[in-house]
Amino acid sequence: MVRIKKNPSGNISINDVARLAGVSITTVSRVINKISTVKEKNRLQVFDAIKQLNFQPSIFAQRLATGKSNVVALVIPRYEGIFYSYYALELIRGIGTLCEALKLDLLLHLTDTKSPINLKGIGGVIFADIIGNRSQLEDALASGIPSIVINHYIDDLEVSCIAIDNITGAEEATNYLIGLGHKKIAHITGDMVTQAATHRYEGYQRALKKNNIGPNEEYVLKTDYSRGQARTAAEQLIKMPNPPTAVFVASDSMALEVMAVARELGRKLPDDLSIVGFDDNPSGLYGPVSLTTVRQPLIKMAEESVKELNLLISRKDKRAKAKKILLPTELVIRESCQRIDSGKA
């Protein structure tokens, strides 16, 4: 018995187009896929029919037939601190914009880091940071799906990653402070569960060591990137009997909080306290004293990741060597640091 199933979505399909254009569905398919071996006359007829029917091919059927998918999943660990800065939004913005341009579908996964993400039907994955979700990355790699990690440098896995050179950036920032004559340099870290925070801390330490400045653990205060904890840290630092003359802060928004606290406690900026942030968040431009900071190319990182992933997805040779890219930062000198005379230091 023949059962006729209605097109469930009531949508027009390639068949309708073929009928209207007076050609076979194969020809329609060829036109859709820009295959050149179609007679101009037929091509135009097909175009016409497509337009008339307002036809859009079903991506599900296409993907089922080709086994290919142009869906890019962006996996972001749902960890509080990641939402404190403008970092996450910049990333989403950069990736989203480029995906739009490249006609890639962007699937957003705000993961709890535990539940395995469903990779079925996904063309490629971008992992933004790895915070407690390394197993998700390993799963993706094991399943052979093109993957790329951003904002986290991974040594021990054959995976392409694009990260910021936080160590060098932090070292340069600290060196700059040292160059201004500072010796009592504090550091307010970010959340040490992120690699960015640990690397910035490392760069800070490295600069001190290379300049024979004994590290003073009292001057290192750890936070979760929130302004609240930055405030507490700043108060603690400023109220010390032997307070630092400079502080390198792991993010701009925290640095701004430090500036605010310093002012509230009657300190003159930048004379009483030199401050360097990290991010180049536009907010740092305002205020009576603009913030010296380390610019990190977030948008560039975002865009590169999409381009790179797109290559991986479309490449025949899946066994290309993983690229490890470290994007340089740039010290942006503004007004929040002051040379200190050595007597005072």
Partner DNA sequence: CTGAAAGCGCTAACAA
Partner DNA sequence: TTGTTAGCGCTTTCAG
The binding site for DNA (CB under 7 A) comprises: 1-9, 11, 13-15, 23-27, 29-30, 32-33, 36-39, 41-42, 55, 57-58, 61-62, 64-67
| Segment near a second copy (CB under 8 A); pick from 2-10, 19-27, 126-134, 329-337 | 2-10
Phi, psi (5° rounding) for residue 138? Answer: -65, -40
β partners of residue 72: 106, 124
Regarding 316 and contact with a second copy (CB under 8 A), the answer is no
Number of residues that bind a second copy (CB under 8 A): 53
Q: Do residues 290 and 82 make contact, with C-beta atoms less than 8 angstroms apart? A: no
Residue 112 contacts which entry, a second copy, DNA, none (Cβ below 5-8 A, type-dependent): a second copy
d(CA 315, CA 338): 52
- The interface with a second copy within residues 15-74 (CB under 8 A) comprises 56-61, 63-64, 66-67, 69, 74
CB-nearer residue toward a second copy: 185 or 188: 188
Q: Which is nearer to a second copy, 83 or 193 (CB)?
A: 83
The entry of a second copy, DNA, none near residue 33 (CB within 5 to 8 angstroms by kind) is: DNA
What is the secondary structure of 312-335 as a DSSP string? HHH-S-TTPPPPEEEE--EEE--S
Closest by CA to 301, choosing from 112, 156, 148, is: 148
What's the CA gap between 329 and 166, in Å, rounded?
7
89 forms part of the interface with a second copy (CB under 8 A) = yes
Closer to a second copy by Cβ: residue 111 or 205: 111
Residues 17-25: contacts with CB under 8 Å, at least 24 apart: 17/46, 17/49, 17/50, 17/53, 17/55, 18/49, 20/49, 20/52, 20/53, 21/45, 21/46, 21/48, 21/49
Q: How many helices (H) and strands (E) does the chain have?
A: 11, 12
Name the nearest CA neighbour of 164 among 203, 118, 110, 210.
Answer: 203
Which of 107, 326, 331, 332 is the binder for a second copy (CB under 8 A)? 107
The least distance separating DNA from the CB of residue 20, rounded to whole angstroms, comes to 12
Among a second copy, DNA, none, the one that 96 touches (CB under a kind-dependent 5 to 8 A) is: a second copy
Instruction: Give the integer Cα–Cα distance in Å for 64 and 164.
Output: 38
d(CA 229, CA 305): 32
Q: Which does 283 bind (CB under 5 to 8 A by kind): DNA, a second copy, none?
A: a second copy
- Residue 132 binding a second copy, by CB under 8 A: no
Interface residue list for a second copy (CB under 8 A): 7-9, 11, 56-61, 63-64, 66-67, 69, 74, 78, 83, 86, 88-89, 92-93, 96-97, 99-100, 105-112, 118-121, 227-228, 231, 253, 257, 260, 263-264, 282-283, 285-288
